[in-house]
Amino acid sequence: MQLTECYKAFGGNYQDVRERLQSDALIQRFVIKFLSDNSYERLCNAMKENDYDEAFRAVHTLKGVSQNLSFDRLSASSSLLTELLRERETVPVDKTLCEQFFAQITADYRTVIEAIHKLDAQ
C-alpha cells in the first residue's frame, strides 16, 4: 500500500500533511510511529474504569496526534469525546453519549491501524 492509499483508506488528508511535513519519508516515519502511541490504550482503560479525567487526557492526546498527522476522521471522532469530557467538572458526563463517541473512536482507530499495518508491510 502506498502512503496516499493509506490516507485514503482511513479518511485522512494526505495533501494537508504533505504541505506541513514536506517529505513522504518523514510522513511515513511518523505514521508508522503512531503504532507505538499508547493514547488509545489509555483511553480504553480509562473508559473501562469510568475514569473520565484520565479518559480526557488520553483522548485529548489522541486528538492532537491525529490532527498533527491529518488523520481527519479519527481526529473528528476524538474531538467529539474530548469536548464532551472537557466539561466533566461542571456538567455530569452523559455516559450514553460518551460510549457512543468512544465506539466511533474505536472504529476509526481500528481503520487507521489496519491501513498503517498494510503500509508498514511493504
- pLDDT above 90 coverage of the chain, percent: 97
pTM of the model: 0.95
Question: Do residues 67 and 75 touch, judged by C-beta distance below 8 A?
Answer: yes
Span 11-51, pLDDT tens digits = 999 999 999 999 999 999 999 999 999 999 999 999 999 99
Look-up of cell digits 503504532:
35
C-alpha cell at 82: 474530548
**DSSP secondary structure string for all residues of 29-67:** HHHHHGGG--HHHHHHHHHHTT-HHHHHHHHHHHHHHHH
Q: How far apart are the first and last CA of the chain?
A: 7
Contact 62, 71 (CB under 8 A): no
Cβ-count burial of 89 within 10 angstroms (0-12 exposed, 13-18 middle, 19+ buried)?
A: exposed
Please give the domain boundaries of the chain with CATH numbers for all domains.
3-120 (1.20.120.160)
Residue 91 per-residue DSSP state: S
Q: What is the pLDDT of residue 40?
A: 98
